[in-house]
Structure formats: structure tokens, C-alpha cells
Amino acid sequence: MQRAMGSEILKVVNVELPDVLTAEAHTSSAIDTQMAVGGLLLVDLGVAEADATVDVVVQHCATSDGSYATLFTATQLTQAGDDDEMIYYLDIDFQNPNINRYLKVVTTVGTDVTDGAVLLILFGHRREAVSQPDDVAALAGSWATGIVPS
């Protein structure tokens, strides 16, 4: 039996790198999900300014350069001091025939700035090798004695 290693079945897509997100719409490039079985969208929000709000829209399309339709919408993720320093997530099942191959993520920061990052982790890449983006690296370290990762 051949064991699949994490880098062979997971791909991390940096939708929006960790930074101060200014008050505007931040739209990702087209993300090809063809070889993925599923995905986990992570929205990591840091300390928000007093009036900051964040809306996230996931869009999908059959072609990378086509007209994207809304797949999922989350509004007002952070509000004046209530929900700052939160990680929000969304599971996406790419085996659903109603979800198209290409995704874009639009993160709109309204009124003020917030710290944040948006990542999409694609999993189930069993039919082809996966290469990670330049700004993604596996943790280097050692497991505790007696622990063997599966």
C-alpha cells in the first residue's frame, strides 16, 4: 500500500496574503479546482479598526476568463470590536456537480482597514503531483518520540 503524503494531496492557494487589508474589494485570480475533491476556505481576520466590516463572496465559473456567478456570500464578518481576531471557514465540495471548475474569492473591506489573510486549501489531488506556491512551505520540525504521522 502506498501512503499519500500531505503535499501530494493538499494544495494551499494564497487568495489574499497576510497584510493590512485596505477598504476596498480584493479579488483573487481564477483558482483552478479541477483536480481537487474538496476545499477549505479560511478567512483569518486580525484586529479591525473601529468601523471595519468584511464581506466575502466566493464566485464560480466553468472557464477561467468567463462570467463568474456567486456561489456563497458571507457579510459583516467583523464589526467594531465584536468579532475581531477570528478565523472563519467554509467547506467546499467540488464533487457537487453544481459547482464549476474555477473559483474567485472577493474580500471586500468596508469603511476602515483590518489585518487579515484569505487561504484556500484544496485537497484530494490524487491524480497529479502538486507543487506549492513560492510563499507556502511545510513546517520543518520533529514529531514527539513514538508518534508516527499517518
pLDDT tens profile 127-148: 555 566 666 666 555 555 555 5
Burial class (CB in 10 A: 0-12, 13-18, 19+), 149: exposed
- Calculate what percentage of the chain has a pLDDT beyond 70: 71
| Cα Rg of the chain (Å, integer) | 17
Give tens-digit pLDDT for 26-73: 999 999 998 888 999 998 888 777 777 888 999 999 999 999 999 999
Residue 65 confidence (pLDDT): 95
Q: With CA atoms as reference, report the closest residue to 95 among 124, 60, 58, 126.
A: 124
Set of cell numbers at residue 69: 456567478
Q: Are 42 and 87 in contact (CB under 8 A)?
A: yes
Q: Tell me the one-letter amino acid at 36.
A: A
Residue 144 confidence (pLDDT): 52
Buried b (16+ CB within 10 A) or exposed e, 48-73: bbeebbbbbbbbbbeeeeeebeebee
Domains and CATH numbers, the chain: 12-123 (2.60.120.1110)
Q: With CA atoms as reference, report the closest residue to 99 among 31, 43, 42.
A: 31
